[in-house]
Amino acid sequence: MYKNWKEYLKEEEEKYKKLRFIKCPAFNDEEVHFNYYGLRHLIYKGEKLRTKDEIIKRFNLLPFTPNILKIIKTADHEEKRVRENSNAYFWTIKHQIHSGLRVRIIIRRLNSGTLHFFSIMKE
């Protein structure tokens, strides 16, 4: 395993940053970026730090994300949230990786910004 928790997080962050973006057919081949928002959400829920087990589970699922985004044709759910003068758009993509393992990927757009990966979790 890892010598310490900080080393683990640093290595996972470096892997995450290498993803950069994926063109996704579900969004007319628009780029889905892997930016600060998604990385932060893998580690925190709002202002609260997720448990180490939860963070590890999410990082373990992350490598499946690029291939899913490259092939997925539609999102399963769309939601708009309004807060003060800001709009957040969320799309949920559900996909079966193999028998017994389904994941849910969340894609988000803030106002008219770029699409970005926001989260992945077991379904």
pLDDT tens, position by position, 34-85: 999 999 999 999 999 999 999 999 999 999 999 999 999 999 999 999 999 9
Q: Is residue 5 part of a domain?
A: no
Q: Is residue 23 part of a domain?
A: no
Burial class of residue 93 in the structure, from the number of CB atoms within 10 Å of its CB (0-12 exposed, 13-18 middle, 19+ buried): buried
Q: Is residue 72 part of a domain?
A: yes
Structural domain total, the chain = 1
CA distance 95 to 88: 23
Distances (CA, A) of 71 to 48, 62, 103: 33, 16, 14
Q: Is residue 110 part of a domain?
A: yes
For residue 12, what are its two tokens?
């996972």
Give the pLDDT band of residue 99 (cuts 50, 70, 90): confident
The predicted model scores a pTM of 0.93
Q: Is residue 8 part of a domain?
A: no
Residues of the domain holding 42 = 29-122
Q: Is residue 92 part of a domain?
A: yes
Half-sphere exposure of 33 (CA within 13 A, CB side): 9
Q: Is residue 108 part of a domain?
A: yes
Q: Is residue 14 part of a domain?
A: no
